[in-house]
Structure 1
Amino acid sequence: MTHRIANPKTPTSLEPAINSQPSTAKFKAWGKALTIPVLLLLLSEYFVRAGWIESYLLPAPSSLWQTFTDLANGDLWQHIWASSFRVFIGFLIGSFLALFFAVLVGLNKQAEAFLEPSFSAIKSIPSLAWIPLLLLWLGIDEASKITLIAIGAFFPVYTNTVAAIKGVDRKLIEVAQVYRLKYWQLVQQIILPAASPGILTGLRNGLSLSWMFMIAAELIAATQGIGYLLSDGRETSRPDIVILAIILLAVLGKLTDRVMQSLETWLLRWRDVIKH
């Protein structure tokens, strides 16, 4: 009797369904994410067209495209670049300093005794309170804006990193002591990898606050940037420019957060976590 051996490379009827599952899941995820924004746009369009909301208070979403086109043909991209550059530089400086001091405080009791009370007090100062002092010290140029953004990025990164380092499982430290790891080997191979989820969460929060502090800086003293667009739209009674600037902030903030989220997923790919 002859037996026919199935070719292992021959696709089965289940493969198309299995391969289509990721694309279907992504489509459903995008559909859920866009439901509320699309619904708000449709309701806004209807209320303005029906006369329930005056157009000088809230322009119809369909009219925003013309505003975007007009600004895009002008200096819109310069405003986006100016704000993005300030956020990028301020976030780098603030997060670098935060990581340095957080590791120092988290690993050294003496450093914690000296630094933690001062950082805790400074953290409670509102962002707007820094602006007059920075303008006096650094003027209205880029230095004052970048410094304010760095302050905004510093404290979320610092706080989360210190908490993550202090939350490292003591059993991991005991294992390192059994293997007689040196101090910097302990920090590099045990403490920082174990604390990395909290550190990356702090970086994402710091990036979000960098955008907020950027707006605070540009609303006070700037001739370029998205914050300047917000101020200009208010002074010229142009709600369409104000709303468009807010939408740009939401889009840029989401894009940068998505980049950080992807970086976090890649760096923490070793974790065994629940995947939805």
Structure 2
Amino acid sequence: MDVIRAENLSVIRGGRHLLDRVSLGMAAGEVTVILGPNGAGKSTLLRCLSGTLVPDDGHVWLDGAPMAGVPGAVLATRRAVLGQESRLGFAFSVIEVIGLGRIPHTGRSDRAQNLRAIEAAMRATGLLHLAERDFTTLSGGEKQRVHLARTLAQLWPFSRDGASKILLLDEPTNNLDLAHQHRLLKHARALAAQGLAIGAVLHDPNLASGYADRVTVLNNGMIAASGTPAHVLTPELLSEVYGITLQTIGHAARGTPLLFAR
């Protein structure tokens, strides 16, 4: 069963459909990747799924109930969003930045629980040795890991009373080098293995092929295809969507397609 599901979402701005009757589900234990060219509606869809944008038509469901009816304070403990850019100009330490993720738990969690959540988030992202570092002195990749840890602290514990948590990543690999891109997505896969529902907007079909359980391709605000990477990431579909001639070869170890321009 999907933890979160969008049904027939439409978002209209200036007479143009940013989303046009889009339906999508995300299940616990899976990584769902949203692909598509610039302006396809990927980030708009993620904002609807997060509850920060109300669609003009359609509904988003959380555990089978309307997300619109979930109080914001409660929703903030169930889903977290890692945006495209998470800027912070203050000289906070790494542990202080990660601690910001515990704000939604004010009054629900004591200091000991908050510290356990922060430590678990730092351990999961390999940041324990940077706990006291000034955030502003970190590299771009390190800062991205800190913000990922902040979202994990927000969601900790990852499952309580059978209620699965959702982590939404909006173009999380932007401005990261190749090694950091793969490390971040390996983190996402590991979190899915712990029961989180992971949704990620990506630009690179090969990253989707390597890490996604399900892929949805958007084009002009509509779903062009949705399913497993092997079924969706075809050269015919992606050549049409991206307007470039592509070919695929099979990855010997994963059995998923790899794409390259012809």
**TM above 0.5, one fold?**
no
TM-score normalised by the chain length of structure 1: 0.23
TM-score normalised by the chain length of structure 2: 0.24
Where relative contact order (Cα < 8 A, 6+ residues apart) is larger, the structure is 2
Structure (1/2) with the larger helix percentage:
1
Structure (1/2) with the larger strand percentage:
2
